[in-house]
Amino acid sequence: MSLIHKFSAAALALAAFPVLAADPVVVPTGSELTFTARQMGVPLEGRFKQWSAQLAFDPKKPEAGKVAFTLQMGSASFGAKETDAEVPKAEWFNVARFPTATFQSSAIKGLGGGKFEVSGKLAIKGSTRDVVVPVALTQSGGQTTATGSFALKRLDFKIGEGEWTDTSIVANDVTVKFRLAITGMAPL
């Protein structure tokens, strides 16, 4: 067998194996995860300073995708010393016992036009609930931006125990918003 035939046979053998693309990566710069609650009718916006995300996602095959988040609950901040000192306590996030919260997708549904629904399990402070998160993707210059928001009930996750279960002081509804800068995503 000539060198050309050996090279051709090797090239054909390699072509028979699918090319494995790297998973998309969330870039912390340009990404944020925030939440808004209302205390006595006044909106209070907080953010998580430390979290990580794992993505295995191709927009053309969303049903095969997976999304996972881990949030460091002690990194939650409202930007005010007094409030930030309360958040880690047992009545609120109980960071000593539950240092992380997680989200793990169970299904991703494409809706067209760069829009998706990500269903999964959200676990906070020992409680797990099913959530559906709407996500919109836009792409520009090789970067993808994922945005979305969803509502949750803080008392479903035992956030605000004891006297803080009174929803006339701190509302039960919390809105979670995100903007993720992502590299390595396949085109829409």
pLDDT tens digits, 81-129: 999 999 999 999 999 999 999 999 999 999 999 999 999 999 999 999 9
Q: Is residue 86 part of a domain?
A: yes
Q: Is residue 144 part of a domain?
A: yes
10 part of a folded domain: no
Q: Is the pLDDT of residue 5 over 60?
A: no
Task: Specify if 1 maps to a domain.
Answer: no
Name the residue range of residue 49's domain.
20-183
pLDDT tens readout for residues 157-166:
999 999 999 9
* CA–CA separation, 113 and 124 (whole Å): 32
Predicted local confidence at residue 22, as pLDDT: 72
The pLDDT score that the predictor gives to residue 16 is 38
Q: What are the tens digits of pLDDT across the range 32-68? A: 999 999 999 999 999 999 999 999 999 999 999 999 9
Using the predicted structure, report yes or no on whether residue 6 has a pLDDT greater than 60: no
The CATH number assigned to the domain holding 114 equals 2.40.128.110
* Residue 156 located in a structural domain: yes
Q: What's the pTM value of the predicted model, to 2 decimals?
A: 0.86
CA distance 71 to 46: 13
51 within some domain: yes
Query: Count of CB atoms within 10 A of residue 13's CB?
Result: 9
Mind giving me the DSSP string for 93-133? T-TTT--EEEEEEEEEEEEETTEEEEEEEEEETTEEEEEEE
Q: Is residue 13 part of a domain?
A: no
Establish if 12 belongs to a structural domain. Answer: no
Number of domains in the chain: 1
In three-state secondary structure terms, 61 is coil
